Chains A and B, each alone.
Chain A
Amino acid sequence: MKTLITARGITKQFGATKALDGVDLDINAGEVHVLLGENGAGKSTLVKVLAGIHGHDEGTIEGRASLAVIHQELALVPELSVAENLFLNRLPRKFGFVDRAEMRRRAPELLERVGLNVDPNAKVRDLGIAQQQMIEIARALDKNAGVLILDEPTAVLTETETDRLLEIMAQLRENGVGLVFITHHLDEIQRIADRITVLRDGRSVGVLGPKATTQHMIELMVGRSIEEQYPRARKRPGQPLLRISNFTRRGVFRDINIEVRAGEVVGIAGLVGAGRTEVARAAFGVDDYDYGTVEVDGKPLPRNNVQAAIKAGLGLVPEDRKGQGLVLTATVGQNLELATLENRDAKRLTDVAGKLRIKGRVEQPVKELSGGNQQKVVIGKWLLADPKVLILDEPTRGVDVGAKVEIYELINRMTAQGRAVLLVSSDLPEVIGMSDRVVVMAHGRVAGELPKGATQDQVMALAVQEISA
């Protein structure tokens, strides 16, 4: 087998943090090499060193083959069109000007390849985050590089898109491309990996073969085993805390009725574009709606008023941490306290940061944290606010297996105290495993509701169902 890139003894220091400590990595032609490790283990840093974005302090890298990288944080220009983003940097030209006709001709081909059905002239800003991720993938594929590195591309994707991506990766492997793949979804690893390098605290702690069991992976990665991945502790539900009735926004969602009782976790599943995030945002007062009511603990909320929603006891962890969740120019502590400025509590703040096992200091700029740890900060902000009803929109995106369980335990603690949780998630095992019942949305409508213990197939059957208008 041909080795395309050989990295030996890579060490990288950020101030006092040793992000990488003598890591070895081989990237072979026709192989999918998975990087696995907890949040902050050094995976993204290793990718950035390979791509030449960060210099390294020690070690050697040989044979930098032509390299395409899909970074963990999206790198698209929101104000430009889909087509322009696809060809950014290498826009087709004619007589020195951008050749729009050529762009329009080639863009659909690229979108087709990743199975994305969007208008090439649409602005990227108006697309959902999963669609943006697919554009990023299409762009990287078009470079036809010898080595393709994918840093958590599936974190924001749903099953269908993930399947599509894994197919594409398998195809590239056939064609002799060397692939590096980072993900926190162990099932994906079992489906595609040829080799797994496990990182812990910047060190490579082992290389596993394709037959590795999830238990083995987890033990190597977090240094202990995890008994129960979805430790939902159910409680007898109390009075309704959140009631969304006849909720309608023309062209986006229609006739939504959802009730969440005290002590309950209700999941919302569905495909990308089913309108789940839109319902959550409108209920929280971020976006307007046409008809319907939102009641928290029996009191109706005024529309379009986030402050009133929060005062009534509602909270929302948004799906896009960089765009809507975090103030990247501020520190970890300043972000954590943002929803509780009126009654700050430094002790509880360090407490929550500790419970979430945020790897980083309270006074550290939040942009220096790894992706998964940034996500924990967004969740921590709302745990501190301790709302009666917390809406979580894709809360565990990019969070490692161990930390996910910590977050689930915190959800359990909330419901044990008589709070309620509305869990929007594209992670089917998560939404099924942690919810007491699952509402499935399709095409902006509620397609059905399933009790605890539903199967993934049942959820998917409802999610893809065509609803006559």
Chain B
Amino acid sequence: MTALNVRKYAPKKYLAENGALAGLLVLAVAIAIMQPAFLSAQNLLNVGVQAAVIAIMAFGMTFVVVAGGIDLSVGSIAALAAMVGALTAGPVGLVVGALCGLVNGALISYGKLPPFIATLAMLSVARGLTLVFSGGQPHETDELVSFLGSNLAPSLPLPLLLMLAFFGVTGLVLTRTNLGRRMYAIGGNEEAAKLSGIDVRKQKLWIYALSGLFAAAAGLVLAGRLGSAGPQAAVGYELDAIAAVVIGGASLSGGVGRATGTLVGALVLAVLRNGLNLLQVPPFWQQVVIGAVIALAALLDSLRRR
């Protein structure tokens, strides 16, 4: 009887921890069967590069979501950082992104605004500034930024490496630093965190600044790949980033989420987009399918948690 129960329990536990990964594998196998070209080395690298921008953004979003918040401004911050980077220099773009995040954090912790509202405002302001600075025109990126989107060697795209580097950093921050521990505590029970001596407001400043910084990095990688920064770049990317985090098993009510989950979530979205293209699904239908898959992923997750 005991043995039986343990066996019944084990796969359920495995699934609960690796649900998104199982979904990714099923998805990849299904696409590979319908279109074997999916498995070509070149295509797989493509998928990785396509995933990179959303993944880097989503890693920053993971901090925010784990701490019980949300950041709607990451797409706009990415565009602004890329535009500032193209007009001045790449590192300036990073600074601008982090500053936008700090403003978000200040509005949320000291202004007591709900994260949804504060970052929605930033979504509009950062996009507007991008348009103002650009004069409505795309601007070419300098060598440094273009390098971010290039290949180090014929089959070694830098965006892919950057994605892995950011993945490593995110994992370290979440699991090995006090900042990470505090994110889980704040998201899990803000009152308990406060009563344990955590300076919740200060932590939130850092958390949103990190999200802004990661978004800026994603924006620079995107611009580097395209060779230019456009005023309408990365529109709507915030939703993909949130989707990646949630598909990865994080909870929007806070306290739960992991770097591996987010990586897998971003890969699910990229594999899906790539597969739908390979299968020549018309773009309008692609949107329908992607939406359905996101809902399915979230549904499976909530069923697993029962």
Contact = CB atoms under 8 A, between A and B. Distances in A.
B189 A327 contact: yes
B194 A286 contact: yes
B184 A324 contact: no
Interface string B2-13: 100110010001
Contacts of B192: 323-327, 338
B195 A334 contact: no
A339 B9 CA distance: 34
Interface string B73-113: 00000000000000000000000000000000000000000
B67 to A, nearest CB: 12
B191 A323 contact: yes
A59 to B, nearest CB: 12
A57 B185 contact: no
Interface residues of A, number: 29
Contacts of A284: 195
B126 to A, nearest CB: 31
Interface string B32-69: 00000000000000000000000000000000000000
A139 interface: no
Contacts of A325: 192, 195
A324 B199 CA distance: 15
B5 A307 contact: no
Interface string B184-198: 110111011111111
A329 B1 contact: no
A316 interface: yes
A341 B184 contact: no
Interface residues of B, number: 27
A306 interface: yes
Contacts of B188: 327-330
Contacts of A16: 6
B255 interface: yes
Given A15-B9, A338-B192, A330 B184 contact: yes
A252 B184 CA distance: 33
Interface in B143-193: 178, 181-182, 184-185, 187-189, 191-193
B254 A286 contact: no
B186 to A, nearest CB: 9
B252 interface: no
B187 A306 contact: no
Nearest to A284: B195
B185 A338 contact: yes
Nearest to B202: A307
A318 interface: yes
Contacts of B198: 338, 341
B189 to A, nearest CB: 5
B217 interface: no
A318 B195 contact: yes
B256 interface: yes
Contact of B182 (A15, A57, A323, A341): A341
B1 A57 contact: yes
Contact of A326 (B2, B189, B199): B189
B254 A306 contact: no
B256 A329 contact: yes
B189 A328 contact: yes
Contacts of B251: 329
Nearest to A14: B9
Contacts of B9: 15
* Most A Cβ at <10 Å: residue of B187, B189, B254: B189
Contacts of A341: 178, 181-182, 198
17 contacts: A11-B1, A13-B2, A15-B6, A16-B6, A284-B195, A306-B194, A307-B199, A325-B195, A326-B189, A327-B184, A327-B193, A329-B251, A334-B181, A339-B196, A341-B178, A342-B178, A381-B196
Given A338-B185, A338-B196, 5 more contacts: A306-B197, A323-B191, A327-B189, A334-B181, A341-B181
